[in-house]
Amino acid sequence: MPPLRSTRFHVALLLETSREVGRGLLRGVRRYARLHGPWGLHVMPGDLVQTVPTMRAWGGTGIIARIPTARIARAILKTGLPVIAGPLSARQLAPSNPLSKLSEIRANGEAVGSMAAGHLMERGLRHFAFVGVPRQTNWVERRQEAFCKRLAEAGYACAVYPAPPAAERDWGREQRRLARWLRGQPKPLGVMAALDARGRQVIEACMESGLRVPDEVAVIGVDNDELLCELCDPPLSSIALNAEKAGYEAAELLDRMMRGEKVTPRRISIEPTHVVARQSTEIAATGDAKIADALRFIRHEANRPLSVTDVAAHIGLSRRSLELRFRRALGHTVLTEIRRVQLERVRAFLIETDLTIGQIAAQCGFANGNYLGKIFRRECGETPQRFRLRQA
């Protein structure tokens, strides 16, 4: 922790505030500055080529910035100030590029893609697709590769939507192109969109082509931009990222650099925390109607103590018949599914609330906090308290 001081640092911030991940990074920087300031935080306009050269004049001491062009890169490097970069492109990361020597903030695309695949497979889906962005970038490619790899390890193929030519990148034209492509995929289909805005477009393309979401196409995005996700029809499931923690870590590293400490450049990872499940993936993709009903019942009733007998009674099967059909459809037991859904809720409560472990246990179907702790340690490999601390 840096010592107390009277120096006031002035930090220029060029982060994409139109996306939740950028706003999360800003919240993290602000939190660090309040605790370890005084800092002046300056959210910079888009034309850094004009504003960066004047930073010395107004007392700028450090920069955290997304660097989309070579001109902006030259302007930033010319200041000679400590810099932490947003996600860098493959070209910027080449050893010959001076930007490759900077510390970088980057989402863990491998973990993001794997988490999305797991969520869709848990819904019983067997056909999958990935939809990137019109201008493919290396962070999208990492998500795509990880998504396809996780599926391949489970024995499933993944279709990848081909990037449209430049002439078809306006959404009016591309919507029809994407709609035709989605119609041609086997159903029911699980789609990972590279980010929430793209997930919204996938849902719109489904509406254009008459495909029902989630019954025919289940869609998951990335960033958990709550307003954007809730404005989708149906609301979009999304992977939440701990961008605020990464922003705090970036500010901490920049603080050391601004005080003259020589630091080894490193990657600051934005980690996915959990899936915020909404209606766009509320599907039980199995040909067995009884098992589909059982899955819906488990998801809806996971906030209370739930037994295999309760599930069997709800769908009108004997416990033995339910277990046999459940294993045949999904490859695991009813109790495994109950625990998986309950622990998914537990993780969300640990991240999104300040409730005690005992209170969370009561909200998620566990008898008490001690029993929840035992199950959580066995299934997740750590205590609930440790999990919560890692997300802070």
Q: CA 304 to CA 146: how far, in whole Å?
A: 34
Report the CATH number at residue 78.
Answer: 3.40.50.2300
pLDDT of residue 1: 45
For residue 98, whether the previous peptide bond is cis, meaning omega lies within 30 degrees of 0, is no
Predicted confidence (pLDDT) at residue 5 exceeds the cutoff of 50: no
Same domain, 260 and 326: no
Same domain, 116 and 60: no
Predicted confidence (pLDDT) at residue 251 exceeds the cutoff of 50: yes
Q: CA 390 to CA 392: how far, in whole Å?
A: 6
Same domain, 53 and 33: yes
Q: At what angle do helices 308-315 and 319-330 cross, to 10 degrees?
A: 90
Asked if the structure places residue 2 within a domain, the reply is no
Burial of 354 (0-12, 13-18, 19+ CB in 10 A): exposed
In the structure encoding, which two tokens stand for residue 34, read together?
A: 């309040």
Same domain, 61 and 209: no
Q: Please compute the mean of the pLDDT values over residues 101-129 and round it to a whole number.
A: 95
pLDDT of residue 79: 86
pLDDT of residue 6: 45
Q: Please compute the mean of the pLDDT values over residues 355-372 and round it to a whole number.
A: 93
Alpha carbon 179 to chain centroid, angstroms? 25
Listed range (14-23, 104-113, 268-277) with the worst mean pLDDT: 14-23
Same domain, 168 and 210: yes
Q: Please compute the mean of the pLDDT values over residues 140-163 and round it to a whole number.
A: 96
Average per-residue pLDDT in the chain?
90
Predicted confidence (pLDDT) at residue 213 exceeds the cutoff of 60: yes
In the structure encoding, which two tokens stand for residue 221, read together?
A: 């995005």
Domain of 327, in residue numbers: 289-391
Q: Please compute the mean of the pLDDT values over residues 344-355 and round it to a whole number.
A: 90
CA angle 322, 348, 368 (to 5 degrees): 70
Listed range (22-31, 52-61, 270-279) with the worst mean pLDDT: 52-61
3-state helix/strand/coil string of the chain: CCCCCCCCEEEEEECCCCCHHHHHHHHHHHHHHHHHCCEEEEECCCCHHHHHHHCCCCCCCEEEECCCCHHHHHHHHHHCCCEEECCCCCCCCCCCCHHHHCEEEEECHHHHHHHHHHHHHHCCCCEEEEECCCCCCHHHHHHHHHHHHHHHHCCCCEEECCCCCHHHCCHHHHHHHHHHHHHCCCCCEEEEECCHHHHHHHHHHHHHHCCCCCCCEEEEEECCCHHHHHHCCCCCEEEEECHHHHHHHHHHHHHHHHCCCCCCCCEEEECEEEEECCHHHCCCCCCCHHHHHHHHHHHHHCCCCCCHHHHHHHHCCCHHHHHHHHHHHHCCCHHHHHHHHHHHHHHHHHHHCCCCHHHHHHHCCCCCHHHHHHHHHHHHCCCHHHHHHHHC
Burial 368-392, CB ≥16 within 10 A → b, else e: ebeebbebbeeeeeeebeebbeebe
Predicted confidence (pLDDT) at residue 56 exceeds the cutoff of 70: no
Q: Please compute the mean of the pLDDT values over residues 109-138 and round it to a whole number.
A: 92
Residues whose CB falls within 8 Å of the CB of residue 54, separated by 6 or more in sequence, listed in order: none
Closest CA to 72 of 96, 94, 89: 89
Asked if the structure places residue 54 within a domain, the reply is yes
Report the CATH number at residue 333.
Answer: 1.10.10.60
Asked if the structure places residue 155 within a domain, the reply is yes
84-106 pLDDT, tens digit each? 999 998 899 999 999 999 999 99
Confidence of residue 2 (pLDDT cuts 50, 70, 90): very low
Asked if the structure places residue 27 within a domain, the reply is yes
Asked if the structure places residue 1 within a domain, the reply is no
Predicted confidence (pLDDT) at residue 4 exceeds the cutoff of 60: no
Could you tell me which residues are beta bridge partners of residue 130? 160, 192
Predicted confidence (pLDDT) at residue 347 exceeds the cutoff of 50: yes
Predicted confidence (pLDDT) at residue 364 exceeds the cutoff of 50: yes
Q: Where is the domain boundary, 220, 250, 281?
A: 281
Residue 145 has a CB neighbour count (10 Å cut-off) of 15
Counted domains in the chain: 3
The percent of residues above 90 in pLDDT, for the chain, comes to: 67
Alpha carbon 262 to chain centroid, angstroms? 32
pLDDT of residue 119: 94
Predicted confidence (pLDDT) at residue 155 exceeds the cutoff of 50: yes
257, 9 contact by CB (below 8 A): no
167-210 pLDDT, tens digit each? 777 888 899 999 999 999 999 999 999 999 999 999 999 998 99
Asked if the structure places residue 134 within a domain, the reply is yes
Q: Please compute the mean of the pLDDT values over residues 269-275 and round it to a whole number.
A: 94
